[in-house]
Amino acid sequence: MNIVFWVGVKSQDPLLLEKHGNFDYFEYSKLTWKYWCEKNNIIFYEYNTPSLEDTGTHKVTWQRWFDLENQLSEFNWDKVAVVDASYMIKWDSPNFFNLTTNKLSVFQALENVNWIDESIKGYQELFPQVNFDLKRYIDCGFQIFTKNHLEFLSYLKDYYNKNLNKILELQKTVSKGTDQPIYNYLLQQNQVDFGFELPNSYNLNHMNRFNWFKYNWQLNYNTTPYFIKYGYLWKYSGFDRRQRTPLMKQTWDLIKNNYE
């Protein structure tokens, strides 16, 4: 049994509500994932109730890792994909579970090298002994786990609790991500076996920066945007997050007939 652990927590923190446009984009992501999971005989699990109510302090990006094992305890699962609600999945996307091994399956994240470099340098003081390999930096928005990786998630939780005050301080001063920099450091420090197993078509990110929203204007009989023609998972990130809902709604209005 495989599960999609869809992270759709609507934080009540006023700053986050404003920053994310009241999280209205969740609707469009959820519609695509529920359809795809049913089509492929995969459990769709909506993670919307974190164990700690104060999501202003304890970000959902952290809590998803801490809550996964407990919330899925009723299922006898083989693999689980943890998916951020900023993703939409194409209706005919091949089943990515069948394309991965028992490694932690992740994606390299080098769309914004300056941002990543600053985040790594900003958290370096917590990991003075780690010679970080930037080529192994991963995106935390979409990952596929087996039960072999629950030990790492448990270690991540322990590290968070022991270093909470410093982590909260750095989240404000560095202002480059929440869980992702530390998650990456701990992967490399603990030599976790992970791999870039899926093709990049399963993680189109910063789509505006790489012109994925455009189409071949010379083929005026086909105005399908590149990201729909060539990609399977579309991540709406890398721009002002207040644009996320209108962009995802436009996408849904364009393709919704395929999800019937």
Which element (helix H / strand E) includes 57? none
Q: What is the mean pLDDT of residues 206-217?
A: 84
**pTM for this prediction:** 0.93
> Tokens 């992970």 appear where?
194
Report the range of poorest mean pLDDT among 4-13, 24-33, 34-43.
4-13
Cα separation of 12 and 90, whole Å?
A: 30
In this structure, what token pair is assigned to residue 27? 């609707």
Whether the per-residue pLDDT at 217 is higher than 90: the answer is no
**Position 30, amino acid:** K
Cα separation of 205 and 110, whole Å?
A: 10
Is residue 210 helix, strand or coil? Answer: coil
- Per-residue burial over 22-46, b if 16 or more Cβ lie within 10 Å, else e, is ebebbebbbebbebbbeeeebebbb
- Residue 176's pLDDT band, with cuts at 50, 70 and 90, is confident
Could you tell me the CA-to-CA distances from 78 to 6, 14, 42, 98 in Å, in that order?
16, 38, 11, 12
Conformation bin of residue 93: beta by default, left when phi > 0, alpha when psi is -120 to 50: beta
Task: Count CB atoms within 10 A of the CB of residue 258.
Answer: 12
Is residue 251 helix, strand or coil? Answer: helix
Arithmetic mean of pLDDT over the chain: 92
| Three-class SS of 135-156 | HHCEEEEEEEEEHHHHHHHHHH
Whether the per-residue pLDDT at 14 is higher than 90: the answer is no
Is residue 160 helix, strand or coil? Answer: helix
Query: Which tens digits make up the pLDDT trace of 53-110?
Result: 888 899 999 999 999 999 999 999 999 999 999 999 999 999 999 999 999 999 998 8
